[in-house]
A and B are shown apart, each in its own frame.
Chain A
């Protein structure tokens, strides 16, 4: 940080205090819990025996299958997502058409939708009694197997790939292409010799992102994997809570951390190198052309299939939630869910809580965790402004590759008895959201010219005045966006809540998981729709109660 400055200013001191505090927080609630998992595991095998236990676990066929499956499904899902995304990215970056925004916005899906809702939607669409089978009059098992897992992962992530690739594609200066054309290259040649190489970093980035999400997948595999398939996350969870084998859980956690570490080191190389080269920010975008220039039918076909692929499962889920057992539209499912005694089964005993309790708990936990995460990320990003501190940036991103099950488990092992489980969930979820929230704010803050802030500083504005007068108004979008993620991620989190609460503390995602587990699929659908409604309300509140703009933008420009 201070890069050897001999002079210490009050600003420096504030920074040391801030990052000292963050370091202590990471140490107490992240590193120590993860360490505890390993220490306890070693303690259980007893001294001397731990090494042979590790070797036994490592050489078991179960471990081999977990490694093969985790890496294999992640690679396949990521490859499919990227391949499917390429035409979409081309469309989004080159043309304007109805639904363009929708496709772009849908890329937020993986972050906002809990995996468990994706599961519900996939079952409703592709499941044995799903829409596809009903239309075809068949009963193919499309979801509870390897295919289903990959399908869900592609569904979940492919629009993220569209977003990453299309952003880069839009940013590739037209001048490069035009230079190549003027030098006599053919259209295909320009694509393979100029565009594709410039696009490659974005393609790799999106592949790596999707790969890591799938690698760390928990909810989808927990439900669809049965006993046959398990990612590291699921394996850790099962060893811990089903087989009660802490040493095995620890070995899987260790392997997971190892793999993640390798992926992240490799990927950060790519991602860092890509930026400056691929993006030419100096050139204004060419005006969007219309769809007429491409073979209309081909592209329209692609769009229709993709929109169906993306919206089909979600729409089906909503419609089915409002469908009664008699097949008509109605609120039966919601009544059964919300009114005690209205269902054949005791919902409260399935959830171990009333539905109202689930909603209240979810909101409370998300609000607490989201606010703490947002405040910490904002403070960190603002004080790192203008500094290229790869070390600090990378350190703050570590939780991204960490097994969340392990973190939750460690929090439970280390702090249970000292802190109530709900607080442990809030702390654990901090690490779910922090890397992303920090990155959003950091990049927004970096885009705000350093000079803008310095201008205010030299005119005599204090730190607080700068935040109030310059940063908040100018970064309003960034902060809102970040806060929305800070709330949405814990709201959607299944992993930490399951690992800390062993499924006994019900938030929205856990409730849905339990309802599926107890074969109350219609109630799970209703619960999922309730969840989405709450999400929408939450975002609407954030958007409307946020700071008003200082004044409307010019009517003249």
Chain B
């Protein structure tokens, strides 16, 4: 679908070098800290930027020197950039109008898309009167109107509130599955990336350092940088490398000496299905606590170093606990940390 072949681009601040490809019908997130080249990657796909070297292929067609107009791509900008001097219908129909499609076809397409985006009857609305979520849906409708081979979304949820964000996220996933369109999505939020993508490309300083399915990325990060970037992680130093365990892969197995609070439900001590090897334990002291709704998050000091453990139970700060985990469930990261030298 999209292939980056040794694509390079230099800026005074950093140099990009990208080699990866996205398959048809996938929802792929490009995830990375700010300044890692996420948006530039998207702009290279769209044709707003041209690489210094290498080739970009879309459906096996070399588009490296093609203008944005020639690529048939839908692009939804961070701030939606609805044309302020046009109505909703004029915005949605713009791509068809500049292609000189018949007026009847344009009208039909606008109606169809507004219905698809759950905005029926919005044709004549002034875009200034729309809410953030409505604006975004108009922007998506506008991008979809030209039947793009690919939809690019640049941090589309960054300027809307948390509740709406969740709804729109679901909507994009639904839409993507329904239309079967390839979607590439830029975000700096790992939560967002994991929630909606099939695969995630983690970018750092202009390089794709890992490109994997979301669960693979979460369970088997390539290095410490990816491990901490896509979620919280515990790093246990051992011979031959670092063992990485997610907080939910650790638990309190022994209740503290004090009986004044509820005894935690004892979990199954046997290894999890598919996991091998014996369980290990470590003595720890709870140093701080946060209530996160579904569970509690504890920061502990232990013989193994600082640990983050989640638990459905409430423990007091200062309690002495025993943390249990199955080393086989974790992931061995190579040492020294490759992430430091991109």
In the assembled complex, A533 has its CB within 8 A of some CB on chain B: no
**Shortest distance between the CB of A448 and any CB in chain B (Å):** 10
Q: Are A454 and B50 in contact (CB-based, < 8 A)? A: no
A454 surroundings in chain B (CB, below 8 A): 46, 48, 68, 75, 77, 81
Q: Are B75 and A455 in contact (CB-based, < 8 A)? A: yes
**Beta-carbon contacts under 8 Å, A423-474 to B:** 449, 451-452, 454-462, 465, 469-470, 473-474
Q: Are A470 and B83 in contact (CB-based, < 8 A)? A: yes
A557 surroundings in chain B (CB, below 8 A): 126, 128-129
Q: Are A7 and B98 in contact (CB-based, < 8 A)? A: no
In the assembled complex, A9 has its CB within 8 A of some CB on chain B: yes
A550 surroundings in chain B (CB, below 8 A): 85-86
Please measure, in the bound complex, the distance between the C-alpha atom of A10 and the C-alpha atom of B68, giving whole angstroms. Answer: 12
**Shortest distance between the CB of A13 and any CB in chain B (Å):** 11
Please measure, in the bound complex, the distance between the C-alpha atom of A5 and the C-alpha atom of B94, giving whole angstroms. Answer: 31
A344 surroundings in chain B (CB, below 8 A): none
Q: Are B128 and A459 in contact (CB-based, < 8 A)? A: no
Q: Quick one: closest B residue to A549, CB to CB?
A: B85
B95 surroundings in chain A (CB, below 8 A): 459-461
Q: Are B129 and A554 in contact (CB-based, < 8 A)? A: yes
Q: Quick one: closest B residue to A8, CB to CB?
A: B65
Please measure, in the bound complex, the distance between the C-alpha atom of A461 and the C-alpha atom of B71, giving whole angstroms. Answer: 12
B83 surroundings in chain A (CB, below 8 A): 452, 455-456, 469-470, 474
B205 surroundings in chain A (CB, below 8 A): none
In the assembled complex, B73 has its CB within 8 A of some CB on chain A: yes
A456 surroundings in chain B (CB, below 8 A): 83, 94, 98
In the assembled complex, A551 has its CB within 8 A of some CB on chain B: yes
B87 surroundings in chain A (CB, below 8 A): 551
Q: Are B129 and A457 in contact (CB-based, < 8 A)? A: no
**Shortest distance between the CB of B154 and any CB in chain A (Å):** 9
In the assembled complex, B69 has its CB within 8 A of some CB on chain A: yes
Please measure, in the bound complex, the distance between the C-alpha atom of A462 and the C-alpha atom of B85, giving whole angstroms. Answer: 19
Q: Quick one: closest A residue to B71, CB to CB?
A: A458
Convert A519-557 into 0s and 1s, putting 1 for each residue whose CB lies closer than 8 angstroms to a CB of B: 000000000000000000000000000000111011011
In the assembled complex, A6 has its CB within 8 A of some CB on chain B: yes
Q: A449-B79, A550-B86 are in contact. Are A457 and B67 (CB under 8 A)?
A: yes
Total A residues in contact with B, Cβ cutoff 8 Å:
32
From B51, B79, B99, contact of A451 by CB (8 A): B79
Q: Are B52 and A7 in contact (CB-based, < 8 A)? A: yes
A556 surroundings in chain B (CB, below 8 A): 126, 129
Of A449, A457, A465, most buried by chain B (CB within 10 Å of CB) is: A457
Q: Quick one: closest A residue to B95, CB to CB?
A: A459
Q: Are A461 and B94 in contact (CB-based, < 8 A)? A: yes
Please measure, in the bound complex, the distance between the C-alpha atom of A549 and the C-alpha atom of B145, giving whole angstroms. Answer: 25
Q: Are A10 and B67 in contact (CB-based, < 8 A)? A: yes
Q: Are B52 and A6 in contact (CB-based, < 8 A)? A: yes
Convert B9-42 into 0s and 1s, putting 1 for each residue whose CB lies closer than 8 angstroms to a CB of A: 0100000000000000000000000000000000
In the assembled complex, B342 has its CB within 8 A of some CB on chain A: no
Please measure, in the bound complex, the distance between the C-alpha atom of A458 and the C-alpha atom of B71, giving whole angstroms. Answer: 8
Q: A455-B75, A470-B83, A554-B129 are in contact. Are A5 and B52 (CB under 8 A)?
A: yes
Please measure, in the bound complex, the distance between the C-alpha atom of A549 and the C-alpha atom of B74, giving whole angstroms. Answer: 28
A-B pairs under 8 A by CB, number: 97
Q: Are A474 and B85 in contact (CB-based, < 8 A)? A: yes
Please measure, in the bound complex, the distance between the C-alpha atom of A17 and the C-alpha atom of B177, giving whole angstroms. Answer: 46
In the assembled complex, B146 has its CB within 8 A of some CB on chain A: yes
Please measure, in the bound complex, the distance between the C-alpha atom of A446 and the C-alpha atom of B46, giving whole angstroms. Answer: 21
B143 surroundings in chain A (CB, below 8 A): 459
Please measure, in the bound complex, the distance between the C-alpha atom of A447 and the C-alpha atom of B286, giving whole angstroms. Answer: 53
From A461, A473, A551, A554, contact of B98 by CB (8 A): A461
Q: Are B98 and A460 in contact (CB-based, < 8 A)? A: yes
Q: Are A460 and B69 in contact (CB-based, < 8 A)? A: yes
Q: Are B65 and A9 in contact (CB-based, < 8 A)? A: yes
Q: Quick one: closest B residue to A452, CB to CB?
A: B81
**Beta-carbon contacts under 8 Å, A58-98 to B:** none
In the assembled complex, B297 has its CB within 8 A of some CB on chain A: no
A8 surroundings in chain B (CB, below 8 A): 65
Q: Are B69 and A7 in contact (CB-based, < 8 A)? A: no
Q: Quick one: closest A residue to B72, CB to CB?
A: A460
In the assembled complex, A4 has its CB within 8 A of some CB on chain B: yes
In the assembled complex, B53 has its CB within 8 A of some CB on chain A: yes
Of A4, A461, A553, most buried by chain B (CB within 10 Å of CB) is: A461
Q: Are B79 and A460 in contact (CB-based, < 8 A)? A: no
In the assembled complex, B224 has its CB within 8 A of some CB on chain A: no
B73 surroundings in chain A (CB, below 8 A): 458
From B47, B53, B69, B99, contact of A6 by CB (8 A): B53
Q: Are B50 and A7 in contact (CB-based, < 8 A)? A: yes
Q: Are B69 and A457 in contact (CB-based, < 8 A)? A: yes
A455 surroundings in chain B (CB, below 8 A): 75, 77, 81, 83, 142
Q: Quick one: closest B residue to A7, CB to CB?
A: B50
Q: Are B69 and A462 in contact (CB-based, < 8 A)? A: yes
A459 surroundings in chain B (CB, below 8 A): 69, 94-95, 98, 142-143, 145-146
Q: Quick one: closest A residue to B75, CB to CB?
A: A458
A4 surroundings in chain B (CB, below 8 A): 10, 52
A449 surroundings in chain B (CB, below 8 A): 79, 81
Convert B224-245 into 0s and 1s, putting 1 for each residue whose CB lies closer than 8 angstroms to a CB of A: 0000000000000000000000
In the assembled complex, B64 has its CB within 8 A of some CB on chain A: yes
**Shortest distance between the CB of A5 and any CB in chain B (Å):** 6
Q: Quick one: closest B residue to A453, CB to CB?
A: B81
B10 surroundings in chain A (CB, below 8 A): 4
Convert A8-26 into 0s and 1s, putting 1 for each residue whose CB lies closer than 8 angstroms to a CB of B: 1111000000000000000
Q: Quick one: closest B residue to A456, CB to CB?
A: B94
Please measure, in the bound complex, the distance between the C-alpha atom of A556 and the C-alpha atom of B128, giving whole angstroms. Answer: 9
Of A458, A460, A557, most buried by chain B (CB within 10 Å of CB) is: A458
Q: A4-B52, A550-B86 are in contact. Are A458 and B46 (CB under 8 A)?
A: yes
In the assembled complex, B84 has its CB within 8 A of some CB on chain A: yes
Q: Across chains A and B, which 9 residue pairs bring their CB atoms closest together, nearest first? A: A459-B95, A554-B126, A458-B68, A461-B98, A457-B68, A451-B81, A451-B77, A7-B50, A557-B128
Using A5-B50, A459-B94, A462-B69 as known contacts, list a sample of 5 further A-B pairs with CB atoms less than 8 Å apart, ordered by residue number in A: A9-B50, A455-B77, A465-B98, A473-B85, A556-B129
Residues of B within 8 A of A (CB): 10, 46-48, 50-53, 64-65, 67-69, 71-75, 77-79, 81, 83-87, 94-95, 98-99, 126, 128-129, 142-143, 145-146
A-B contacts, 9 of them at CB < 8 A, read A455-B75, A455-B142, A456-B83, A457-B67, A458-B75, A459-B143, A461-B94, A473-B85, A551-B87
